[in-house]
Every structure is written in structure tokens, then in C-alpha cells.
Amino acid sequence: MIIVLNANPVSAFETDQYNLPDKPLADIGDEITDYAYANIVDAVVTLNAKIEKIEGCLSGRDGCDTKDKAKLRQQLDLLKSEDAIALEVFRTMGAGGLMFTKASSYVEKHDFSIAPARYKTSYPGSVYMTVPTNYFTISSTIKAYGHEFGTDKIAHFFQQGYDYYKIYRKQIQKDRSEKAAIQKAVKWGKLTEATYFGNLVSGVYSNGDLAANYAGMKFYIGLTRQTVVGNEVRPPITTLDNDRWKVDPLFDKYASLLKPYFSDHFNEALNPSVYILGLRSIVRISVKNKSCHQWLENFPERKQTDYEAIFSEMKLWNGEKYGFKKTSKPLTISALCF
């Protein structure tokens, strides 16, 4: 019960990357980055305004009630902490209702400058044709920085990524090691995917969801700290300078903001989910009968060994354990289509 109460309400959406778009999708990675960067800037402006207001109160120039100056100073310290910028960024993109986050709604509805920006397979063609509850909550597929994945992964990145971040920070504040803090967050994610965010709701344990959660946590950590993603050292996005938050003007947003975090790990055909027994058979038959010819026609240069190599890379996220669940017979393209 404690876990449920502490969790943000995630989208219950599924996704279907087994069925490929009718036309090649436009890559909207840079436009999503523009959106994210603008919201981070807004978060910085909002925090600085709050800091200035409390400083004005403490100085007496704004005519505020300063009876409890200790409380005001405590609030001021909090606003200057790394947790404050993470929370404010979450509010701009990760917050939302039970089925949507602000960021995922943007990606689902925004009129992007290039098209087609989204694709959703037809009901008869979907792997969830016999499971209407899954199909009617299915998210669109998009392409960002060369990777195709569902818009639900944007929700996981900014919302559950923040949940991971909070667990991570709580462990760090208890003097746990970096590794132990991350493992605690991953353990929570695996539990929720096996229960009310996955198996118990839709019969799907999504490795892709867990990868997006994990990448989102790294994003939030990287708001104020240097992080390493694979072989790339990523500078912090924001810094506190003279008691004011700022975005580094030399920060290369297109190269470092989101691009390092988006990968094929989010694609549920290349990084397949684990399904409950009955649903697994349905998905397997659907892919073999309806989807395999699309993959073979669209990617004639790829061999079975190529897909096996891709799947092998999915087990870790840039060499890091993110909660990937093994199964004896994964529904991979290499196993189903060759």
C-alpha cells in the first residue's frame, strides 16, 4: 500500500512496434528536445522567482510576515537544492492525470513541423486485436533520434523516471552508495511492472517501460550533476550561480539533453515484453501472421543474426542493469520471423 500511495499515476497505455508504419516516420527528436528545453528554462525562471520572493521577505523590503524567519530560510535552502529543480521540471512535463502526462500529451497532440509524426496500427492489425482493453489504450508510435517507440515511453521517462529519482535521492540521503541507491529504484520499478503498472492491469511486463523509467532517472540526476551515458560524459543542464538557477548557455541541447537517453530499449519489438501465457500465444501468432512480412520487406539487409545482436544489447542499458526480465522464449523478431 505504501508503494501505491507514493507512486505517481502512470499511463496504463500499451504500445505495438511489431506493426510498422505505412510510411517512414519523420524524426521529431529535435522538436521534442525544444519542448523539453523550454520547460526546463520555465522551471528555472519559476524557481528563481520563488527565491527572490523569500529573499525579499527576509530583507523586509516586500512587507511580508517574517515572524517565522527560520521557516523561510529553510524554504529558501530547499529552493536552492537539486531536489527543487528536479521537482519543478517534473511539474512542467511529468505531472498529469491518471492516463496522461503533460509531455506525453504534447507528443500525442502537437502539430509537428514534419510529417508523418505518429503512427497507430489499426485494430484488426494490432497484436492486441483479441484484447480490446489493451488496444484501446494503445499509444502512438513516434521516431526520435533514429529510434521508434510508443509515446507512453515519454510518460514513463518524465513521470516514473522522477519516481525513480526520488527513491534514489532518499537512499543517497541515507548515505547509501550510488549503486545501492540505483538498485533500490530499479527494484521498485520491477515490482510495479509485475503488478499494478503491468501484469495485473494488462498482462504485460514491459522491459521497454523499465528502460524508459531508468533513463528518466538518469535524466533527472543529470539536471544538476555530470552523468555518464555509455561512453559519453554529459554535463549538468543547470547550475546554481550566485543563488540563482541558470541553464548553461554553452549546453548543447540537441546533443546532450534527450538524445543520449533515447534508444531501441524503448521499442517493444526490439526489446520485447514478457506476456502472461494466453496473451503470449496471441501476440506470437499475430506477429508471425501479420507483422513478419513487414520487417522482412522493410529491412531486407538485416539478417537473423543482426536481430539477435540487437536483442542481446537490450539486456543492459549502456552496460547498466535496468530491470530487464529474462524469459526462455522471448518474442523477438529473430525468433518469430526467420
Q: Does residue 63 sit within a domain?
A: no
Residue 90's pLDDT band, with cuts at 50, 70 and 90, is very high
Residue 141 domain boundaries: 2-25+98-235+253-337
Residue 90: helix, strand or coil by DSSP?
Answer: helix
Residue 301's pLDDT band, with cuts at 50, 70 and 90, is very high
Q: Does residue 126 sit within a domain?
A: yes
Which residues partner with 232 through β-bridges? Answer: 229
pLDDT (mean) for 61-70: 75
- Is the predicted pLDDT of residue 294 greater than 80, yes or no? yes
Contacts of 287 (CB under 8 A, 6+ apart): 18, 127, 331, 336, 337
Asked if residue 53 lies in contact with residue 135, where contact means CB atoms within 8 angstroms, the answer is: no
Q: Does residue 333 sit within a domain?
A: yes
pTM of the model: 0.93
Q: pLDDT tens digit string along 105-117?
A: 999 999 999 999 9
Average pLDDT value for the chain: 90
Q: Does residue 46 sit within a domain?
A: no
Residue 133: predicted pLDDT: 58
What DSSP designation does 159 have?
I
Q: Does residue 52 sit within a domain?
A: no
Q: How many Å from the N-terminal Cα to the C-terminal Cα in the chain? A: 45
The three cell numbers locating residue 139: 499509444
Q: pLDDT tens digit string along 196-238?
A: 777 777 788 999 999 999 999 999 999 999 999 988 889 999 9
What DSSP designation does 265 have?
G
Residue 232: helix, strand or coil by DSSP?
Answer: strand
Between 123 and 141, whose confidence is greater? 141
Structural domains in the chain (count): 1
DSSP element (H, E) containing 98: none
Residue 14: helix, strand or coil by DSSP?
Answer: strand
Residue 129: predicted pLDDT: 73
pLDDT (mean) for 191-199: 82
CA separation for the pair 334, 278 (Å, rounded):
21
Residue 217: predicted pLDDT: 98
Residue 189's pLDDT band, with cuts at 50, 70 and 90, is very high
CA separation for the pair 155, 153 (Å, rounded):
5
Q: Does residue 141 sit within a domain?
A: yes
Q: How many CB atoms lie within 10 A of CB 221?
A: 23
Residue 159: predicted pLDDT: 95
Q: Does residue 32 sit within a domain?
A: no
Between 136 and 328, whose confidence is greater? 328
Q: Does residue 110 sit within a domain?
A: yes
Residue 137's pLDDT band, with cuts at 50, 70 and 90, is low
Residue 67's pLDDT band, with cuts at 50, 70 and 90, is confident
Angle at 102 between CA 99 and CA 107, to 5 degrees: 95
